[in-house]
Chains A and B, each alone.
Chain A
Amino acid sequence: MRKLISIILLGIVATGLFMSISQIPFGEPGERMGDHFIREGVKETGATNIVTAVVVSYRGFDTLGEVTVLFTAAMGLGAVIGLVRRKKTHPVIEPASLIVYTGCRFLFPVILLVGTYIVIHGHLTPGGGFQGGAVVASAFLLMYLGCRGKRIRENLSRGLESLGGLLFILLGVTGLLIGGDFLFNFLPLGEAGTLISAGIIPLIYLAVGLKVGSELAGIIDHLIENTDELSE
């Protein structure tokens, strides 16, 4: 019965979705939201990557809200886990084989370097704080899988996360004091296409990268290390 209702509902949704999708032309030029950003973006923000310009500059306040959602999810996760009193037992961890261990030790700094590169060059080439932060967090995931027993210090990851959020808000408030708008670009734009350009955009993306990287690494740390007792 439940299945029948579900499938009828699914059919209705599918029909509606199909009718609306078939009205949208694929790849046709026309009136677009991003036209202004593409034409004037480099002049106005100094960033050659227009997606970065939209995320950090035009929709910067929105990005702050999204980072807050991320923070809230991580905090809720910590609160849910924290309801269990942990027994201080250290289960014997089976070490990974030598090849896996050495491979992970070798790859870890390389992935960290790539992640940092992606964060720093966010305003010039594809990439930025969100992607670079995710790459950095995946390096920590690799470390947890390959070299069990090593942990991030919790205070360090919390501190970096708070530092990222604080830096974002401080930059925004400084812009408010100098230019009258939250996240006003108060630094000189410089020459587009060079590493030090686009004013506060690289700084904000650095803050976002710090925040996303430490947040996701902290989530993985929670999931791997603090749920052992739950599954007994």
Chain B
Amino acid sequence: MNFLSEYTYYIGAFSLIIIGLYIILVKKNLMKVIIGFSIFDTGIYLFLITVGYLREGTAPVFSKSGLDAGKMVDPVPQALVLTAIVIGVAVLALAVILAIKIYAHYGTINLRKIKEQRW
């Protein structure tokens, strides 16, 4: 029980990564696979932020005087995740446009059916 309350965020991140990986590996619909990528991404962001957390810490912003620098959460993972999120959306848009083009070309986005077809 103690383990569960301590590791709530880790469990969330772990589940998201596993569910995203399951969708990517098992599903045959291309749009579903891209949704899986998005969930997988979210899991990794949550994991990185959780690693940088400090119990009863404050956000790394000196918005008022008297904040203790020793009780602040780690800013480095936050900076990494911040840029990763914005790049993620651009790469996702590229994947989506490729899926739309595949649908226009083959008339289906089912990966198994695409494999059976000739050019």
Contacts and interface: CB of A to CB of B under 8 A. Distances in A.
Chain B: interface size category: 35 or more
A173 B90 CA distance: 27
Interface in A53-75: 53-55, 59, 62-63, 66, 69-70, 73-74
A28 B86 contact: no
A126 B89 CA distance: 21
A166 B51 CA distance: 35
Nearest to B15: A14
Interface stretch (A76-84, A86-94, A152-160, A174-182): A76-84
A231 B90 contact: no
Interface string B1-22: 0000011011001100110011
B101 interface: yes
A63 B26 CA distance: 35
B12 to A, nearest CB: 11
Interface in A1-43: 3, 6-7, 9-10, 13-14, 17-18, 21-22, 24, 26-29, 32-34, 37-39, 41-42
Interface of A: 3, 6-7, 9-10, 13-14, 17-18, 21-22, 24, 26-29, 32-34, 37-39, 41-42, 48-51, 53-55, 59, 62-63, 66, 69-70, 73-74, 76-77, 80-81, 84, 124-126, 128, 130-131, 133-134, 192-193, 212, 215-216, 219, 222-223, 227, 230-231
Interface of B: 6-7, 9-10, 13-14, 17-18, 21-22, 25-26, 47, 50-57, 59-63, 69-70, 72, 74-76, 78-79, 82-83, 85-87, 89-91, 93-94, 96-98, 100-101, 103-104
- The 3 A-B residue pairs with the shortest CB-CB distance, nearest first, are A27-B55, A73-B90, A50-B60
